[in-house]
Amino acid sequence: MRLLLVHADDSMASIYQGRLEKEGYEVIRARSGAEGRERVVNNDPKIIVTDFDLPDMTGREFLMGMTITEDYELNIKVMKIVRVGVGNFNYDNSIHTDDYLEGQPDPGKLVMKIEELKRRKINHYPELKEIFG
């Protein structure tokens, strides 16, 4: 399953990428929101994991720019997770994410969050089992 990881810190992104690839994910990386948007268009990821603080915009702006559309494909069929720093963000669903991770989570917690969200997506939208199953 193709996953887009948007993170400006190359060392952290490499750690996440290694763990995610070990779990069988095909990881595409981007270092900025603009690069991330290009990767969404050109690579069709099914999962997007973004940091909150990107060089050119916030993770919120990055995700909102993609979900303004009413497009079912973007809003439902793509799982979106944002990593937020402690105390810099009040989570609300107005940014159209499926969930968030607070602080700098270890890669194992990120994988567990993705697996949990896949189960929730499939329970809520059984037709997505083909994508996330």
Instruction: For 27-68, write each residue's pLDDT tens digit.
Output: 999 999 999 989 988 988 888 888 888 899 988 788 776 654
Residue-level pLDDT at 67? 52
CB 83 within 8 A of CB 100: yes
Query: Cα separations (Å) of 73 from 104, 115, 133?
Result: 29, 20, 17
Residue-level pLDDT at 65? 66
Dihedral sign of CA atoms 94, 96, 98, 104 in order: negative
Average pLDDT for residues 2-25, to the nearest whole number? 93
Residue-level pLDDT at 22? 97
Residue-level pLDDT at 83? 67
CA 111 and chain centroid, separation: 11
What stretch of H or E contains 83? strand 79-84
Q: Residue 23: which pLDDT band, with cuts at 50, 70 and 90? A: very high
Structural domain range at position 58 = 2-132
pTM of the model: 0.83
How far apart (Å, rounded) are the C-alpha atoms in residues 98 and 117?
A: 7
What pLDDT digit, counting tens, does each position of 71-114 carry? 444 445 567 776 654 444 444 445 566 777 777 778 998 898 88
CB atoms within 10 A of CB 34: 15
Which tokens belong to 57?
């915009």
Residue-level pLDDT at 72? 45
**Domains of the chain: total:** 1
CATH number for the domain including 104? 3.40.50.2300
What stretch of H or E contains 47? strand 47-51
